[in-house]
Structure formats: structure tokens, C-alpha cells
Amino acid sequence: MWLGLVELLASLAPGENTPVIMKSSINQALGRREFLKRATQAAAIISVPAGMAPRVMPLIARAAEERPPAGPRASYHVDGQIHVNELGKPEGKPLTQGHMDFKPSWSKTGNLLVCFRRIKDDPDTLKWKSAIFVINVDGTGFHQLSDGTRTDFNPTWTRDGLNTPIWNRKNDKTGGFYVMQSKVGGKPGEEVAITDESFHTWAHSCLMDGGILVNSYHPTLGWGVFLMTRRAGAKPLYEHIQCELVPRGQLHRVSVSPSEKKVCFEFLRGHKSPRGIGSVLTISMNHEDE
């Protein structure tokens, strides 16, 4: 059962030996339409930060004419098409058509999306074949980062200033996932693994200090939610995140706010496999939260 957004007041910058502690409150269950409605209402009072690209304006305009300020925008997928839209305005032309594209994630620089495209369908989602791609928010610059022969899901971006796309790739031998990375302008075959392929790690969202929020079945630390930090010349450091909800269920689709003071995620009661629950429309908000 999808319980909608859960907001956490969190500290996501612990010391090496300090667990992250979260306090939470669960909202009432939200349907997709109600979620979109509330997201639009909430975003209507938030201004776009300085430096973000304004919406496209006519090429010919009077020099003295003032341009109205652009409102907050969202990227999302509907019926396999990627959209970028100003909240509260009529839906415009999709960025992609004729494919089944999912899970757009907005770069911190504000000009790029990373998504995945289903290449081969199957009733079992874990048997899909998919390709990761990057596209500009105006629909130009499409290029694939993986070749579509593997199961690649849920890409996101690092926030450490490098603007690196990362995603989750299925290990066909174990059935678990590990984390891959590439680069803007990269080509299929250039991607590299940044976590050990021998045990499951699923990346959700990144932090400005280079940390990555993950679910993992670590060989010594066991199952849990971790703050993973990559280290030069050494294996990544996994730090357990303590949360009162963990014993009661699973945290999925975790997204850290730009300020890194809040987290929203999907909470699934119980610890059974989430397969077969059904898809959730994903929205990536292109604004600060303060």
C-alpha cells in the first residue's frame, strides 16, 4: 500500500561513527491525482531560486516589455512520456514520445534530466531491459548512457558539484542490484560500477558532501538504510540510518530536499517483497524548499 509522502526532520551529515537519527510522521494515504494537486498547491507559494533557467519566451519581444517571472517547474512521466511543466499551467508538449520512459531526475544545475527507457517489456518488472539516458530540459541533447541490454533503474545525480548521473543495475546472477555511474556526454560501455556487485545496494538520493543514501544488504552490517560514502583507494563506508519506521516496514524512493534538512519517501508496511504493488507517478520538483 502506498502511504504517500512522509516528511522526516533529519540530520544527514553525521560523524563517521554517529548514526543518523530520523523522526517521522505519516500522512494519510494519497492517490495520484490528490498527490499532484497538493504538490501543485504547495509549489505555488515557492519561488524559483536565482540562477534557474526561466521558461521559454518568444524570440521576438519588445525591448521594454518585462518578462513575467517563471513559476516552479516539475519533471514527470505520463504514459511513457517525459514532461517538464510549470506547475499550475496547462500541460505542454512532452520531451519524449513513442517510447516508454520513466523516472526523470533533475540535475542540481537545473538544465538536465536523467531518466530510464524501457527497451524490453515483461510482466515481471525485474525482467525489463532498459537504458539510461540524459536529455536537456528543453528536449534537446538526448543521449544514452547504457545500451539497453541490462536492467537499469531509477537514475539520479550526485550533488557534489560534479553533476554525475548514477543509477541501479541488476546483477543477473544474484538478482540484487548495484550502483553504476557515467557522465554527461558519456556513451554506452563507459559506465562503471561504484559499489560491490556481490551484494545488493540500491541508490536513492545524493548529498552535497558526496554521500549517497542507499538501501543495502551489507555482508557484515546486514539489511538496512545507509549513508554510503565513497573513499579513494578504499571500499565505501556504510553508516546505518536509525529510523523508527524501519522495524515497521520499508523505505523506498527516498528523496533528499535541496537543503538536506528534509526527506520524503514511500513507506511500505511490512517487510515482504514490494514487487507487484504497482507504479507510482514520480515528480521531481525544481525548486529550493526554504
What is each CA distance from 197 to 86, 147, 158, 164, in whole angstroms? 40, 19, 20, 20
| Cβ atoms of 131 and 115 closer than 8 Å | no
Decide: pTM greater than 0.75. no
Per residue in 72-120, pLDDT (tens digit) is: 889 999 999 999 999 889 989 999 999 999 999 999 899 999 999 999 9
**CATH top-level class for 6-14+72-86+96-272+279-286?**
mainly beta
Amino acid 191: pLDDT: 98
**Average of per-residue pLDDT across 231-251:** 85
d(CA 203, CA 30): 25
pLDDT score, position 51: 41
- Grid coordinates belonging to 153: 533503474
